């Protein structure tokens, strides 16, 4: 999962992946949907929040590239707590 995915450029480097991207910028999401439609990403133009957790699978990796510095300390902590809830447990 990629929170704050922007135009999802990371997909250039990823093959055969079940990709979920969240961003609040509609133009980024629309761009990514068009450019990477052959990779069938699941892209959402919304803030990643607690109510999203019920709709999502568990993830091996969650990216927050270039996002945390845009958030307050409290928002960052809340986001990290949410992410921890949907990470697969490591053995």
Distance CA 43, CA 70 (A): 20
pLDDT bucket at 68, cuts 50 / 70 / 90:
confident
**Among candidates 59, 50, 41, which has minimal Cα distance to 79?**
50
How many residues are there in the chain? Answer: 91
pLDDT digits (tens, 9 = 90+) for 7-59: 999 999 998 999 999 999 999 999 999 999 999 999 999 999 999 999 999 99
pTM passes above 0.75: yes
Fold annotation for 2-86: Rossmann fold (3.40.50)
Distance CA 28, CA 58 (A): 24
């Amino acid at each position: 999962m990629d929170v704050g995915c922007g135009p999802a450029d990371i997909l250039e480097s990823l093959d055969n992946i079940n990709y979920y991207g969240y961003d609040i910028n509609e133009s980024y999401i629309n761009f990514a949907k068009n450019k990477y439609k052959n990779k069938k990403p699941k892209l959402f133009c919304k803030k990643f929040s607690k109510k999203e957790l019920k709709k999502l699978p568990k993830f091996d990796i969650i990216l927050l590239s270039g996002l945390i510095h845009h958030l307050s300390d409290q928002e960052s902590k809340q986001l990290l707590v949410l992410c921890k809830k949907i990470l697969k447990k490591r053995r």
